[in-house]
Amino acid sequence: MSLALNQPVLVLNRLWQAVNVCSVRRAMALLFEGHAQVVFGHGDGEFKTYGFGEWRDFSVQSPCTEDEAVGTVCFRIRVPRVILLLGFDRLPKKEVKFTRHNIFERDKNTCQYCGRTLDRKDLNLDHVVPRDRGGPTTWENIVCSCIPCNTRKANRTPIEANLRLIRKPKRPKWRPFVQVNFGMPMHDSWRHFLDLAYWNVELGEEPV
């Protein structure tokens, strides 16, 4: 049962926008306290909401597999996969973190000088304007570079090394959707609510 209680649940604000992920344990507490309702899809894009009592009754009427439910002293209840907060209508305000991981993702593991897509072990991060010439360590001055191009460029600007950037590096824009790690298991019922475009996802904590 403890494993079931630790499964992820997608959290929507009251405008039906995905804002977070919590555990089944937390979702059940919010549901029981009346702060949230379960969102359940019945096919053809139709979703209904259920309070705690309604969800308990639905669980009895609609049996499910062992790993899709948790037990209490008196009854078994379905594990919610999506919940709707009844008193929260804000969106998280965050920027994409400036990390090594996110720079690789922004540049799609592609050398920004020669255009080759490579494994990350074969890529470096390059200061377009070298650091000892005043180049900052920012989104706008860091790009992925393959080792040969990085060696060729050395301590020079792209123009000096006769190299041309494929695209000008920019700070990516955060779009206010839920943060979901790629490694996190996602239930099929989430897909309706999630925009899984890359920049909606928080990727890592490692420093540049």
- Give 178-186's long-range contacts (Cβ < 8 A, gap of 24+): 178/10, 178/11, 178/18, 178/19, 178/20, 178/21, 179/20, 179/21, 179/92, 179/94, 180/21, 184/8, 184/21, 185/7, 185/8, 186/8
pLDDT in tens, 131-183: 999 999 999 999 999 999 999 999 999 999 999 999 999 988 655 445 555 45
**pTM over cut 0.95:** no
Phi and psi for 49 in degrees, rounded to 5? -110, 150
- Can you name the residues that pair with 83 across neighbouring β-strands? 11, 38
Place of tokens 């009854």: 75
Q: Is the pLDDT of residue 111 over 90?
A: yes
Give the mean pLDDT of 79-83.
90
Mean pLDDT of the chain: 81
Give the mean pLDDT of 80-90.
83
Radius of gyration of the chain (CA): 23
Report the C-alpha gap between 82 and 11 in whole angstroms.
6
Place of tokens 């555990």: 23
pLDDT in tens, 31-63: 999 999 999 987 666 889 999 999 989 888 877
Q: Where are the domains of the chain?
A: 2-92+176-200, 100-153
Distant-in-sequence, close-in-space partners of 60: CB < 8 Å, separation ≥ 6: 75
- Can you name the residues that pair with 201 across neighbouring β-strands? none
Which tokens go with 63?
A: 């049996």
CATH class of 100-153: mainly alpha
Asked if 169 and 142 touch (Cβ cutoff 8 Å), the reply is yes
Place of tokens 């969102």: 39
Residue 152's pLDDT is what?
Answer: 96
Asked if 20 and 178 touch (Cβ cutoff 8 Å), the reply is yes
Q: What percent of the chain has pLDDT over 70?
A: 75
Residue 32: other Cβ atoms inside 10 A: 15
Report the C-alpha gap between 182 and 196 in whole angstroms.
10
Report the C-alpha gap between 195 and 160 in whole angstroms.
41
